[in-house]
Amino acid sequence: MQVQPNFTSKAPNRIVRYVYLITVFFLTLTGFGQMPIFKRYYIADIPGLGWLAQFYVTHYIHYLGAVLILALVSYLIIDYLFLQKKRIRLTASGYVRGTILVGILVSGIFLVLRNLSGGRFVPEFIIFLDIAHLGLVMTFLIVAGYCMVYKRRWVTQR
């Protein structure tokens, strides 16, 4: 039988789940906002979405989202390893999503370091990071979409 991930009661389970979903949503939205597409394709013209065309705003919100997702992922990993591992295990799709997510986080961390004053990598590596970060996000969205449609959970009971 498959279960929701790693929580001992439903309330914190639900809170963590919503925080995760909202964070991923805004990270994806502001991440795509790093490309000059929202103004070109009229999305920023929709009332209330003008901020999507302001690169410094989307950049800042993306960083805020990164703070949240790093805290959340760290919490879930430790919680899984020390509290939940005897009861539940990661499914195959959980491993796939987790691996992609870690790739997104690692490439994102390198891009944050690049953005610091004095942070400089060879240009080829920066291009690799940019493409890898975007490619992994798109892969994650496809895999997450598949898992949502076919109801594949992150974890299952042992």
Partner 1 sequence: MGQKISRRAFLRGGIAAAAGLAASSIPGASAAAAPQEKTQLATLLDISKCVGCEACVEACNEVNANKYPQPKKPFPKMYPERVPVEDWSEKQDVTERLTPYNWLFIQHATVNVNGEEQEITLPRRCMHCVNPPCVKLCPWGAARQLANGISRIDSDICLGGSKCKKVCPWDIPQRQTGTGLYLDILPSFAGNGVMYKCDRCYNRIADGELPACIEACPEEVQTIGPRDEIIQKAHALAKEINGYIYGENENGGTNTIYVSPVPFEELNKTIEKGKGKPHLKPVKDTMAQANNLTTAMALAPVAGIAAAVGKFVRLTKNRQ
Question: What does the per-residue mask of binding to partner 1 show for 55-94, with x meaning CB under 8 A?
Answer: xx--xx-xxx-xxx-xxxxxxxxxx--xx-----------
> Exactly one of 114, 143, 147, 153 binds partner 1 (CB under 8 A); which one?
114
If binding means CB under 8 A, how many residues of this protein chain bind partner 1?
50
Handedness of CA 105, 107, 108, 114 (dihedral sign): positive
Choose between 3 and 126: whose C-beta lies nearer to partner 1. Answer: 126
Spacing of C-alpha 46 from chain mean position? 25
Min separation Cβ 156 and partner 1, Å: 21
Q: Tell me which residues touch partner 1 (CB under 8 A).
A: 8, 34-37, 40-42, 55-56, 59-60, 62-64, 66-68, 70-79, 82-83, 109-110, 112, 114-118, 120-127, 129-131, 134
